[in-house]
Amino acid sequence: MRLKEKVALITGAGSGIGREMALLFAREGAGIVVVDINQEDGGRVVEEVVSSGGKACLVRADVSCADDTKAMVDQAEQEFGRLDILVNNAGIMHSEDGDSTSTDEAVWDLTMNVNLKGVFLGCKYGIPALRRSGGGSIINTASFVARVGAATPQVAYTASKGGVLAMTRELAVIHAREGIRVNALCPGPLQTELLMKFLDTEEKKQRRLVHIPMGRFGQAAEMAQAALFLASDESSYVTGSEFLVDGGITAAYVTPE
């Protein structure tokens, strides 16, 4: 087992990529702290883990709230005695997120609070716990749009994920000598509820698909496999990286430096 005796806290674990990470990490031996704002979704994931022989606990938390974020880390240490893997995965993609002239300020603020501030708070309270465990791995879920921009405008989401990349690089440098690795997982367009609600017409879906060399949307389970590498000791010399798992979309559209 690649994560035997490790403890992983995963935000946004009630659905999508987070759910797949929780199930996979549990199969690989980790104790799982399932964090989600939706208690019902999170509870189902805990039941799935436990019914498969794994160990998991549920914490309801709004990652944009400092008190909730501190509490989720405290719960991880109370339940399992340590924290080894922190996955800042919770995020939103607002249906009214458009270009700079059409996006309401409230949509911008909400997106930044969840997608960017939520990662900051996760690290603020999670890093001390990783120190107490002697080091560990932080995985921040970013996006390919932080590198190439989005064909369908979503300025707040894109900007928030760009911030996640910048924060990931800085934290990786700051904490490298402490044995704390910090990497960003950058998914391409995925066939998840989050994206499909945003790409709510066939025209919008095709606008994304036409840019993907592999010609299909990715699956959440494929992202979990990439995250498993970053969480495990197999990536012991990997920090500050942008792990693109995107069906080739950035390779096709980013000019090499």
- Judged against a pLDDT cut of 90, whether residue 196 lies above it is answered with no
Residue 228: both structure tokens together: 């498993």
Per-residue pLDDT at 45: 98
pLDDT in tens, 205-252: 887 788 889 988 999 999 999 999 999 999 999 999 999 999 999 998
Q: Map tokens 């498969």 to a residue.
A: 52
pLDDT in tens, 94-114: 989 999 999 999 999 999 999
**pLDDT interval class at 200 (50, 70, 90):** confident
Domains annotated on the chain, with CATH? 7-244 (3.40.50.720)
Q: Judge whether 157 counts as a catalytic residue.
A: yes
Per-residue pLDDT at 190: 87
Residues 6+ apart with CB under 8 A from 216: 209, 247
